[in-house]
Structure formats: C-alpha cells, structure tokens
Amino acid sequence: MSQGDTDQSSIGRTLAVVGDRWTMLILRDVFRGVRRFSELVESLGIARNLLAERLARLVEHDVLVKVPYCDRPLRHEYRLTPKGADLSRALIALIRWGDEWESDDTDPTVLVHDHCGTELELELRCPSCDVSVAPTHVRSRSGSLL
Amino acid sequence: MSQGDTDQSSIGRTLAVVGDRWTMLILRDVFRGVRRFSELVESLGIARNLLAERLARLVEHDVLVKVPYCDRPLRHEYRLTPKGADLSRALIALIRWGDEWESDDTDPTVLVHDHCGTELELELRCPSCDVSVAPTHVRSRSGSLL
DNA sequence: CGAGTTGGTTTCGAATCGAAACCGACCTAC
DNA sequence: GTAGGTCGGTTTCGATTCGAAACCAACTCG
C-alpha cells in the first residue's frame, strides 16, 4: 500500500491497526473471554504464525496487554486495554451490520441490554441538541462527510 | 483463510465484504462524494486493478451501485445503496477511534452535527430503558459478548 | 485524422498468507 | 530421570494476493 491516504487520515490510522481479515475477529473473541493463544487458534481457525503476529501488533499498539495467568509454568493471556475496550463501538457496529444485511437468517448475534434483554441500538447523538442524528446530517469539521 | 469462524458469524460475514485494508477507505470516499474511478485512484493512491476488483465486489454485495452520470460518452459513478449507507455507523466508529487513540494531533476528522456544529457521540442505547448502555452491559442473546 | 480522457484489464515481481513441521520451557507420571 | 504432554510460539515453503506499470477500448474534441 502506497500512502495516498492510508496513514494520514483518522480511518487510515485505525485500519493500520485493525484493518485486516483477522484482527477484528481476534478482538471479538478477546471481548468474549477467549484470551489464550491456543484457545484463539481453536476458536478462529487462524494459522498460528498469523495469530502470533497479530497479537504482537495489537500489544505494540497498546490495544491488548499480555498478562500472566499462571506462574508455574509461566503462561500469559491477552487482555484489552482501555484503548482496546474502546473498539467495542466499532465491533458492535460491524456485528449489527452483518446481522442486518448479511445474515443467512440462522445465527444472528443479537446484542441486548444485560438487565432488560432489549435489543440495543447504536445511535449517533448530538449531546447539545439531545437528539439522534441521521447519517445525512453528519458533517466533518473540515468538509462534509456524507 | 480457512473458516473457523469467518463466514459463519455476524462479524465474519461483515468482514468478508468490508474487511480489508482498502474497502472502508473506498467507502469513506464515496460517502464524501468521491465517486468516480479515477477520482478514487487519485484520492486513495490505490492500484487500479485493486480498485476495480473492490468496486466489483461492493456492487456484487449490493453495497454500491453503478449509475451513469453522463450519456455521451457513457460514464458511470458509484453510489451507496441503503445497505451501503447503513455502514456509516461502523465507518464513524472507526474514524472516532482513530481520532481518539491514533491521532498524531494534526488532522482529526471531527464529526459534527450539521446544524449546530457540536461534536457527535456514537452511543449504545437501550430503547426500552431509554438509557445509554456501557459496553460492559452488553450481552449477546446467545452468551455474553463482553 | 491525431491527441486526450475515462474506466478499466493484463502482466509480473514482491509481499503476505496458510498449513504443517519444528522447538523450548515447563509440567506430570512412571 | 526420562518419556510424554501442554502451551506458546517460530520456521519453512508453496499458494495467493498486492502493487506498479504498461496496455487497451470507447469515446470526444479539435
């Protein structure tokens, strides 16, 4: 990839960290509690070398941390940092889109509020107008997004 | 990629459509109004063969449509379908994360409400409780997500 | 006619992926 | 103490994908 934009825009920088076919899948598993190397291999069907490389990149970018879960023998697991946990919105947005538009009507990952069970909405809000904002009313401060 | 999960989970199916280093960047440009082949090449610095392949995939998956913008000579541009427009939440989530955590403090893409200019928040809401829901209170109907 | 523009396709070397084999540190059982 | 197993990788190597550049077809303009 050259550079036309890739590392000099907000989304380009995001994709430099999580923009490949595996990383978001790995993070979804970590969110769900699958945190060890061999569990991730098993759960995702990813090649071990790729998983090792992706985890190293995520640690390097401070999305995950490697913490010991056992001393004898010394073993580690991968946990989300606050930066990593903050990817939940993106992850949820991707999951919801897949359920809405690419579902084969079998196993949607319905996301619900944990104490009432209602299906959640991901909503763009204007804190000062206190209203939900449609995508067509979003602008970028330096030019229009939509 | 084998299949351990890739095409049988919501997010796996999403990533099968938009999960590579270029597709979200292409879509961001289309959202911004960059819709023609040569404009996209110029704006992104993407190789022409890759752009052609990605656009074909997005059309095939009904994320974009090819519409004529000129009859003589016949020329086309790519527009978002409703399905494509619905990726705005994911796109916005990725942009915001990049601004928050990967910014080099130069050119954040601040997203604002078009008629008051306030910076927008992407919020997970429970429509029945009418409250904002933290990522830690999200569950999947078939097991916990976080 | 010849030159320019648009929207691609073809070609080919370089980088990345994926499957499998290998490895080192550390158990546990015998 | 040594054989076998587990965990978390690393190495190897053929297959796939990427990226840069050249090429091309359809069309317009002068």
Interface contact flag, B21 A2, Cβ < 8 Å: no
The tokens for B78 are 């790519």
Nearest CA in chain B to A15: B21
Which pLDDT does position A8 carry in this prediction? 76
A49 touches strand C (CB under 7 A): yes
Tell me what pLDDT residue B77 has: 96
Residue B39 has pLDDT above 60, yes or no: yes
- Per-residue confidence band for B145, with pLDDT thresholds at 50, 70 and 90: low
A72 CA, D3 C1': Å apart: 21
Residues B1/A21, Cβ–Cβ less than 8 Å: yes
Give A-chain residues touching B79 at CB under 8 angstroms.
none
Q: Which residue of B has its CA nearest to A90?
A: B93
- CA of B53, C1' of D24: distance in angstroms: 18
Burial A18-50 (b: 16+ CB within 10 A, else e): bbbbbbbbbbbbbbeebbeeeebbebbebeeeb
Q: Report pLDDT digits (tens) over B102-128.
A: 987 666 777 889 889 888 888 888 989
Distance from CA of B131 to the nearest CA of A (A): 10
CA dist B87 and B90 (Å) reads 5
Inform me whether the pLDDT recorded for B59 exceeds 90.
yes
The answer to whether B136 CB sits below 7 Å from nucleic acid chain C is no
Q: What pLDDT does A135 receive?
A: 79
In this prediction, residue B27 has a pLDDT band, given cuts at 50, 70 and 90, of: very high
The pTM (predicted TM-score) of the whole model is: 0.91
Share of chain B above pLDDT 90, in %: 60
pLDDT value, residue A119: 84
Mutation target for B interface from A35, A122, A137: give the one with most B CBs within 10 A: A122
Q: Is A130 left (phi over 0), alpha (psi -120 to 50) or beta?
A: left
Q: For residue B24, what pLDDT is reported? A: 98
Split at pLDDT 50, 70, 90, the class of B144 is low
What's the rounded Cα separation, in Å, for the pair B106 and A57?
Answer: 23
Nearest residue to B6 via CA among A16, A92, A29: A29
More confident residue, A29 or B137: A29
Which residue in the set B45, B120, B122 is minimally distant from A3, CB to CB?
B45
pLDDT for res B107? 67
Which residues in chain A come in under a pLDDT of 70?
1-7, 105-107, 142-146
Interface test with B, best of A49, A51, A63, A114 (most B CBs within 10 A): A114
